[in-house]
Structure 1
Amino acid sequence: MRFAILGPLRMTGVGAPTVPKAPKQRQLLALLLLNANQVVPVGVCIKELWDDQPPDSALSTLQTYVLHLRRVLCGVPEIGTMRAAKQVLATAERGYRFSVPDGSLDLHLFDEGVRKARDALADGDDARGSALLARALDMWEGRALTGVQAGPVLRAHAAMLEEYRLSVQETRIEADLRLARHHELIGELSALATRHPTNENVRAQLMLALYRSGRQAHAVEAYQRLRRTLSADLGLDPSPRMRRFLQAMLENHPSLNSPAAAGAGAAGDRSA
């Protein structure tokens, strides 16, 4: 049995993918999978499903949704019976726990891949670290919980997952910059900078990739776009770190030139 939340919500067994069709049941399933193997208190479930306006029947309705989810699980060949479904989706400690085996939830696999990659990077193996991060990022099939109606709890979870994903992507790009892959990164970084126009770290990585590709004027223009966006949207100026980075580019500072040189570490620090 496989479960997916990094994109469309899915439960995949021996047969075709199976998920509830009713929006509230999908919403509850997503909440339980995001907290797989942990108890989700009843109050959190009610908050997610109805926010601050739960009906008088909220508790009994929640219990009905749980029953329907267990019936869906019964239709999965690997589970098959209500008794087994109650073990997967258990009532425990004034809440519910959805148990998933090791290696069956894409979020857990993503976490494990990122952990192994960070270990490789800590050992100085940028090539292996980059490859492991790329493999982990390939598990994503769009925004987390695509197609799921989200209440306040899921919205907060989804936002944190997107930040997590971006952080991992930035870490992989940083490793690729140290591997002198700046030419290949420009397209990806341009798209990221468009999606995250006020993110200084992404913009610094784009500027560095452009600079190392011999496109200093484009790197300066990337900085100017950041400055204009920050001013127009937030009434802010680029940070001192970004201004120092721009000045280093204008001065053709040697530390920015070769990722294979000892000074490349300093360049990476500037864009981190």
Structure 2
Amino acid sequence: MGSTEFRVLGPLEIEQDGALIRIGAPKERALLLYLLLNACAVVPADRIIEALWGSAPPSSAKKLVQLYVSHLRDKLGRAAIETVPPGYRAQIAPSSLDCVRFERLLRDGREAQVSGNAQLAVAILSRALALWRGPALVDVSFDDFAVAEAARLEELRLDCAEERLAAQLSLGEHEDVVAESARLSSQHPHRERLRGLYMVALYRAGRQVEALEVFRDTRKELLEELGLEPGDDLRAVELAILRHDPSLTPSTSPAVAVSSELPATVTELIGRERELRELRALVLREDVRLVTLVGAGGSGKTRLAFALAAGSQPFFANGVAIAELAALRDPAL
């Protein structure tokens, strides 16, 4: 099997050597996703049957599983799924799964924030969130085997968003945090940390009255819907706002402005959205160090590279730069 990437943070996507592979049959997608969630582990055939059909499998379930595996091998390569009694094993590199890369980036972003490098944390956490294209495991969202994992990944997604907001607040980017935390708070009204970040951002933006209104609205919703009072952390934020506590001011220096050496473009790049999307996915992978664009002279490689660099600046704490390559003078090189 060539270089293959499996994306489950949204509708299932499989890309092998730059080409998308479509798995059309729902049961085949479900089987593949079940094996991916147990990557590198042998999954007994009985468990696969239960995952696909629950407690009422057809009499031909075992043969159907064999057929689905055969179809998947035809599309992904014979080595993609290994037969190991009493079942099957997905033979993939962990880094080929976007959910694995997401969790690694989340961990790295948290470590950067703890170490005091909020600017790096924002860049890393932005890369993590960029991997998401929709709800995790959406192809099997109603299947019992995927419910818990989908919920866990969604919880981590929200954790990642909150971590980035906290890092942005450390950099004094409260105006950006107001907009994003307002959007997320409306979707997840019971996440108290998110509401607390929203309140702090409003306070720093000079909107103390609105910040206190957020607390009152949150308290009302928690009491009416869950019968609970706000937790100690959220109450502490309210009290700090009422007291104009100095702890609410940024504790680190603002983000350092990153100079950009990119040339100004005078024309809009049209018709290259797919290439830009694929290239950005590559350059944001932590296991990719070099991406080379090849093509005939005048085909737009340089313009595409500039557009990629300009759109990728938020994901790299040190910015982007151009390094002009000199022409080869020694034929031996």
TM-score strictly above 0.5: yes
TM alignment of 1:63-142, pairs within 5 A: 63-73=66-76, 79=77, 85=78, 87-101=79-93, 103-142=95-134
Partner of 2:226: 234
% identity of equivalent residues: 40
Partner of 1:38: 41
Aligned partner of residue 17 in structure 1, secondary structure: strand
Counterpart amino acid of 2:161? Q
Asked if 1 retains the 8 angstrom alpha-carbon contact of 2:39 and 2:94, the reply is no
Q: 2:20 aligns with which of 14, 17, 38?
A: 17
Rounded to whole Å, the distance in 2 between the matches of 1:54 and 1:147 is: 20
Rounded to whole Å, the distance in 2 between the matches of 1:132 and 1:158 is: 22
Q: 1:210 aligns with which of 202, 222, 244?
A: 202
Aligned residues: 250
Rounded to whole Å, the distance in 2 between the matches of 1:203 and 1:183 is: 15
TM alignment of 1:248-263, pairs within 5 A: 248-260=240-252
TM-score, normalised via structure 1 length: 0.84
Rounded to whole Å, the distance in 1 between the matches of 2:43 and 2:156 is: 22
Rounded to whole Å, the distance in 2 between the matches of 1:67 and 1:125 is: 49
Asked if 1 retains the 8 angstrom alpha-carbon contact of 2:11 and 2:139, the reply is yes
Displacement of 1:149 in angstroms is 5.6
Counterpart amino acid of 2:20? P
Asked if 2 retains the 8 angstrom alpha-carbon contact of 1:130 and 1:175, the reply is yes
Counterpart amino acid of 2:115? D
1:7 to 2:7 alignment: no
Aligned partner of residue 83 in structure 2, secondary structure: strand
Partner of 1:264: none
* 1:181–1:88 distance in 2 versus 1, CA, 3 Å: same
1:224 to 2:191 alignment: no
Counterpart amino acid of 1:240? D
Counterpart amino acid of 2:75? V
Aligned partner of residue 97 in structure 1, secondary structure: strand
Displacement of 1:53 in angstroms is 2.4
> How large is the Cα RMSD of the aligned pairs?
2.0
* 1:260–1:122 distance in 2 versus 1, CA, 3 Å: closer
Counterpart amino acid of 1:17? L
Rounded to whole Å, the distance in 2 between the matches of 1:104 and 1:211 is: 42
Deviates more, 1:52-61 or 1:119-128: 52-61
* 1:213–1:41 distance in 2 versus 1, CA, 3 Å: farther
Asked if 2 retains the 8 angstrom alpha-carbon contact of 1:27 and 1:148, the reply is yes
Counterpart amino acid of 1:71? D
Asked if 1 retains the 8 angstrom alpha-carbon contact of 2:141 and 2:150, the reply is no
* 1:122–1:237 distance in 2 versus 1, CA, 3 Å: closer
TM-score, normalised via structure 2 length: 0.70
- Pick 1 or 2: higher relative contact order, CA cutoff 8 A, min separation 6: 1
Q: Determine which structure has more spread, i.e. the larger CA radius of gyration.
A: 2
Q: Is there any run of 5+ residues in structure 2 with no aligned partner, and where?
A: 254-333
Rounded to whole Å, the distance in 2 between the matches of 1:163 and 1:144 is: 11
Displacement of 1:160 in angstroms is 0.9
Asked if 1 retains the 8 angstrom alpha-carbon contact of 2:175 and 2:205, the reply is yes
TM alignment of 1:139-154, pairs within 5 A: 139-148=131-140, 150-154=142-146
Displacement of 1:16 in angstroms is 3.8
Asked if 2 retains the 8 angstrom alpha-carbon contact of 1:120 and 1:129, the reply is yes
* 1:149–1:210 distance in 2 versus 1, CA, 3 Å: closer
Partner of 1:269: none
Displacement of 1:15 in angstroms is 6.1
Asked if 2 retains the 8 angstrom alpha-carbon contact of 1:6 and 1:107, the reply is yes
Deviates more, 1:197-206 or 1:243-252: 243-252
Rounded to whole Å, the distance in 2 between the matches of 1:102 and 1:108 is: 7
Query: Displaced runs of 4+ in structure 1, greater than 6 A?
Result: none
* 1:34–1:154 distance in 2 versus 1, CA, 3 Å: same
Q: Is there any run of 5+ residues in structure 1 with no aligned partner, and where?
A: 74-78, 80-84, 262-272
Cα deviation per residue 1:132-171 (whole Å; 9 max; x = unaligned)? Answer: 1111111111111234464101121111110111111111
Deviates more, 1:141-150 or 1:182-191: 141-150
1:197 to 2:189 alignment: yes
